[in-house]
Amino acid sequence: MRSGHVALVKRIETLAKGKKKLRLMEVCGTHTVAIFRSGIRQVLPENVELVSGPGCPVCVTNDDYIDKAIEYTREGFIVATFGDMLKVPGSRSSLAEAQAEGGDVRIVYSPLDCVRLAKENPRAKVIFLAVGFETTAPTAAATVLAAKAQGIRNLFMLSAQKLVPPALRFLLKDTSVKVDGFLLPGHVAVVIGADAFKFLADEFKIPSAVGGFEAEEILIALVSLLKQIDSGRVEVTNDYCSVVKAEGNVAAQKILAQVYEVADVSWRGMGMIPASGLRMRDEFAAFDIERVEPVAIERADKKTACHCGEVLRGLINPIECPLFGKACQPLHAIGPCMVSVEGVCAAWFKYGGNNFTW
């Protein structure tokens, strides 16, 4: 353990001493993985508990979205996606199974790869699975603008982008959710700005801190949270100021607003959340596959003991799910929280023992 880390951990211990059990939620899935990988959970005082929130876009994507993507493969479309969507279960199967059955599913590393893919396959219709938060949504918007500028007519989006602040507002209105502070997602804040989270302090009086993803950066943000709790002061601190600005990335925000508008969307485990997602504006409807060629899906009556919804709201830890590590494992996942590289169940499964390095 580095000397700087030791000092920060001791500061946390001092600030937490004598206090009730404190539940601090790391919203971002990348934070969850970084916290496990660096062993931060193991060195925190017993009365400081880190719980994971709905910060994995793959995990909060509903079954019907996967079902639609699978149906498009059956109708002859090329479906392009990030790799962590492949094994996410729909109500009947997954994209990996659809691919094994002959569906044309391609892995891409950026939405912009789909522009090239569409050019190389002019007689095919290419759909990009636009799943993500504010971090990746501007790139999807830029892809649509690039396709329009180049006159590409065979590239479409199946959109499931979601917005983090409305989800946090929803969580705080749920009386079953008990959170004493938020470790806010640095990547999202880069785009929307630290000020976008001010409502947490102003309306809900919840201490919050925007944090980076290295061990030291996370510990610094946790110290900020505990200092607020100790002093009774409530604010949103920007502890990732080397990257995050108060106003965010204005250029990215403009691109996003040009292509998308805010919409009510459904989140896995939480249901419909007002103004928590994005849909394409009417002037870009030609790139929205659900408006150009909608598909009908018949959802299976899926009954499962998976507790992804409760995990995503921080109500339980993954090990409290009866399927965790038994029927549900990374190679045979029942729920999406075990599939994604940012999924909390996957992180608990991989790092949940005493594995940690400094």
Neighbours of 34 (CB within 10 A): 20
* DSSP track, 296-353: ------------HHHHHTTSS-GGGSTTBTTTBBTTB-SSGGGTSTT-HHHHHHHH-S
Cβ(145)–Cβ(199) under 8 Å?
no
Alpha helices in 232-306 (DSSP H): 250-259, 289-292
Structure tokens belonging to residue 100: 């094994």
Cβ(245)–Cβ(253) under 8 Å?
no
pLDDT along the chain (358 residues), means of 10: 82 96 95 93 95 92 94 96 91 93 96 97 97 96 98 97 97 94 97 98 98 96 98 97 97 98 94 96 98 87 82 93 92 88 91 51
Q: Which of 121, 141, 119, 120 is nearest to 130 (CA)?
A: 141
Q: What per-residue confidence (pLDDT) applies to 356?
A: 37
* H or E, element range at 159: strand 155-161
Cα 301-107-250 angle, rounded to 5 deg: 95
Cα 307-97-58 angle, rounded to 5 deg: 40
Cβ(49)–Cβ(19) under 8 Å?
no
* CA separation for the pair 253, 137 (Å, rounded): 10
Report strand pairing: 271-280 vs 260-267: antiparallel
Residue with tokens 């950026």: 110
Neighbours of 220 (CB within 10 A): 19
Q: Enumerate domains of the chain plus CATH numbers.
A: 63-163+248-292 (3.40.50.11740)
79 burial level (CB within 10 Å; 0-12, 13-18, 19+): buried
Number of H helices, E strands in the chain: 15, 11
Cβ(232)–Cβ(117) under 8 Å?
no
* CA separation for the pair 244, 184 (Å, rounded): 11
Q: What is the pTM of this model?
A: 0.92
234 burial level (CB within 10 Å; 0-12, 13-18, 19+): middle
Which DSSP letter does residue 214 get? S
Q: What per-residue confidence (pLDDT) applies to 64?
A: 93
* Secondary structure of residue 141 in the 3-state scheme: helix
